[in-house]
Structure 1
Amino acid sequence: MEKRKELQLALQMVSGYGAEFSAWRMPGTDPAAYTNTDSYVERAKIAEKGKFQMIFIADTPALTVDLGSQTPMFPMDPMLALMAVARETKHIGLVATLSTTFNYPYNIARQFKALDVISNGRVGWNAVTTSEPLAAANFGTQVANRKERYDKAHESIQIVQALWGSWEQDAWTLDAEGGKFADMDKIQPINLQGQYYASRGPLPIPPSEQGQPVIFQAGGGQEGLELAGRYASGVYANPYDIESAREHRQALQQSAAHFGRNPDDIKMYAGFMFSIGSTEEEALERRRQLMSFNPEEIPSRVRYLGSMVGLPLSVHSVDIDQPLATDMLKKAYANPMDPRSHRALELLKKRLSIRDVLAHGVINYHPVVAGTPIQVADFLEEWFLAGACDGFSVVPDIAYDGVADFVELVVPILQDRGLFHREYEGKTLRENMGVPYQY
Structure 2
Amino acid sequence: MRTPQMHLTMQLVGGTGIEPGAWRRPGVAADGYVNVDAAVRAAKAAERGKFDAVFFADTPAVVDDLSTRSPSWAPLEPVVVLTALARETERIGLVATSSTTFNHAYNVARQFRALDLVSGGRIGWNAVTTGRPQAALNYGAEVPSRGERYAIAEEFIASVMALWGSWPEGALLLDTENGRFADAERIQPVMVRGRHMFSRGPLGLPPSPQGQPVVFQAGGGGNGLALAGLYANGVYNSPFDIPSGAAHWQAVRRAAQAYGRDPDHMTVFNGIVTSVGSTEGEALQRRRELDELGDLESRVQYLGVQIGVPLDMGDLDKPVHKDLLRDAYAHPGDPRAPLALRLAKEGWTVRDVIAHGIIQYHPVAVGAPEQIADMLQHWFESGVGGGFTITPDAADGVEDFVDHVVPILQKRGLFRTEYEGTTLRDHLGIPYQNGLPAAHPA
Q: TM-score range by the shorter chain?
A: over 0.9
Which is further off, 360-369 or 282-291? Answer: 282-291
Q: In structure 1, which of residues 373, 376, 383 is the aligned counterpart of residue 379 of structure 2?
A: 383
What is the TM-score with the length of structure 2 in the denominator?
A: 0.96
Q: Work out the CA distance in 1 between the residues paired with 2:4 and 2:256.
A: 20
1:64 Cα deviation after fit: 0.5
Which is further off, 336-345 or 158-167? Answer: 336-345
Q: Work out the CA distance in 1 between the residues paired with 2:123 and 2:35.
A: 22
* Residues 40-439 of structure 1 aligned to structure 2 (within 5 Å): 40-74=39-73, 75-294=75-294, 297-315=295-313, 319-399=315-395, 401-439=396-434
1:263 Cα deviation after fit: 1.2
1:300 Cα deviation after fit: 2.4
SS at match of 1:87: helix
Q: Work out the CA distance in 1 between the residues paired with 2:33 and 2:234.
A: 27
1:188 Cα deviation after fit: 0.3
1:336 Cα deviation after fit: 2.1
Q: How many matched pairs?
A: 433
Q: Work out the CA distance in 2 between the residues paired with 1:279 and 1:330.
A: 33
1:425 Cα deviation after fit: 2.2
SS at match of 1:201: coil
State the identity %. Answer: 54
Moved over 4 A (4+): none
Contact preservation (8 Å) 1:383, 1:389: no
SS at match of 1:181: strand
Q: Work out the CA distance in 2 between the residues paired with 1:352 and 1:192.
A: 59
What are the Cα deviations for residues 317-366 of structure 1, in whole angstroms up to 9, with x where unaligned? Answer: xx221111222223222222111111111211221101111111101111
Contact preservation (8 Å) 1:214, 1:430: yes
What code does the residue aligned with 2:158 have? Answer: Q
1:194 Cα deviation after fit: 1.1
Q: Work out the CA distance in 2 between the residues paired with 1:353 and 1:267.
A: 39
What code does the residue aligned with 2:298 have? Answer: S
1:80 Cα deviation after fit: 0.6
Partner of 1:17: 16
Which is further off, 62-71 or 282-291? Answer: 282-291
- Structure 1 alignment gaps of length 5 or more: none
SS at match of 2:173: coil
1:302 Cα deviation after fit: 1.8
Q: Work out the CA distance in 2 between the residues paired with 1:393 and 1:87.
A: 23
SS at match of 1:365: coil
1:389 Cα deviation after fit: 2.7
Q: Work out the CA distance in 2 between the residues paired with 1:327 and 1:415.
A: 48
Partner of 2:26: 27
- Structure 2 alignment gaps of length 5 or more: 435-442
Q: CA RMSD for the aligned pairs?
A: 1.1
Q: Work out the CA distance in 2 between the residues paired with 1:271 and 1:30.
A: 24
